[in-house]
């Protein structure tokens, strides 16, 4: 089944607020192939950044550089 077909079907359950042990989420994500999981995470990332007002058309990795020097005594 393709990912767009799976999204149309949907999956859900009703539980109490403090009854969630995460088993439902683990079972759900285990049925989805890794490349589709990555695609879902990327889609959620773009949605989050758009809500924060970030431009999602020019994303790039953060570049941090650090240099550590040891003092000689």
Tens of pLDDT, residues 5-31: 666 677 778 888 888 888 888 988 898
Structurally, how many domains does the chain consist of?
Answer: 1
Q: Does any domain span residue 66?
A: no
Task: Look up the pTM and report it.
Answer: 0.55
Annotate 5-49 with DSSP letters as a single string: HHHHH-------TT---SHHHHHHHHTS-HHHHHHHHHHHHHHHH
| Boundaries of domain holding 53 | 3-58
Tens of pLDDT, residues 34-51: 999 999 999 998 899 889
Q: Does any domain span residue 63?
A: no
pLDDT tier, 57 (very low <50, low <70, confident <90, very high otherwise): confident
Q: Does any domain span residue 73?
A: no
Q: Does any domain span residue 45?
A: yes
- Across the chain, mean pLDDT equals 83
Q: Does any domain span residue 65?
A: no
Q: To 5 degrees, how large is the angle CA 60–CA 50–CA 43? A: 70
């Amino acid at each position: 089944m393709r990912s767009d077909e799976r999204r149309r079907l949907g999956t859900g359950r009703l539980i109490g607020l403090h009854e969630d042990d995460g088993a439902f989420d683990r079972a759900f994500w285990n049925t989805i192939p890794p490349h589709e999981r990555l695609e879902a995470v990327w889609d959620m990332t773009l949605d989050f950044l758009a809500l924060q007002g970030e431009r999602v058309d020019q994303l790039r990795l953060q570049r941090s550089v650090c240099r550590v020097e040891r003092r000689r005594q």
